[in-house]
Amino acid sequence: MDYVLSVSRYKLYGVAEAFKYAVLPHDRPSPLFLLFTTLINGGLLVWSFDVVLSATCHKEHSTWLGLGIMNAVINDLFSIALMASMRNQIRKGIHPSVSNVRLYLTQPVLLLYFVYLIWEIAWMIVASKKASKNNKDGCSNHFSVQSGFFSFYFILGLTIFAMTFATEWCRSPRWRVAASTQWRRRNQPELDEQVEGIDEAAQGDDFSRTQEMEDR
């Protein structure tokens, strides 16, 4: 009986550790932001497609509803591309002196998404105005739903991104250690050669001084 209990505890401990590593890994950013983005925008996509296929809408409203669907797709693609980009950079290595702010500000995926957000916010403003007009239909009524989803995604998504992706609960993320180790591993041969060159130059200077003293 004790053996069975010990095995059960060991298996539960293994499952708990695997879950902890999946949610808060030490060698890569947490997938919580990716999961949140996928669930929110994926759920909106399902709802929006149902409206498109079932409701009778004005052509202009159908176009704007389609643009809202495009926004949800790009939000999903952004989170996937950012995670892939960061994991690739960690695999290549990151210099220890590079700050997290500089690291993210030099991410092309993030910079392009910031530019795209200008359009998405403009869409939300225009869609909200169209939803309040008198010529309402199934699509225009759904504009408010889409705008609400996007607002929720921006506010909570930014918090999750800051707490679990850019940082680790306001602390330097542990994956920076793995990235720094990888950088040293890749650059160690070059660093060793530079150190050897400096040592050889120093030894040459010492030998020259010794010769000068002996000549005197």
Select the more confidently predicted residue: 205 or 158. 158
Instruction: Report residue 207's pLDDT band, with 50, 70 and 90 as the boundaries.
Output: very low
Specify the amino acid at residue 133.
K
pLDDT at 149 over 70: yes
Specify the amino acid at residue 52.
V
Report the chain's mean pLDDT, rounded to a whole number: 83
Under a CB-based contact definition with an 8 Å cutoff, are residues 81 and 109 in contact?
yes
Give the domain ranges of the chain: 30-215
d(CA 193, CA 52): 64
Q: What pLDDT does residue 93 have?
A: 92
Q: What pLDDT does residue 59 have?
A: 85
Select the more confidently predicted residue: 100 or 70. 70
Q: pTM for the full model?
A: 0.79
Select the more confidently predicted residue: 21 or 99. 99
18 exposure class (CB count in 10 Å sphere: 0-12, 13-18, 19+): exposed
d(CA 95, CA 178): 11
d(CA 72, CA 150): 8
User: Which of these, 185, 186, 205, lies nearest to 197 by C-alpha position?
Assistant: 205
pLDDT digits (tens, 9 = 90+) for 167-202: 888 888 889 998 998 888 888 765 555 545 544 444
- Neighbouring CB atoms inside 10 A of 61's CB total 23
Tell me the three state secondary structure of residue 46. Answer: helix
Q: Which two tokens stand for residue 208?
A: 């020259």
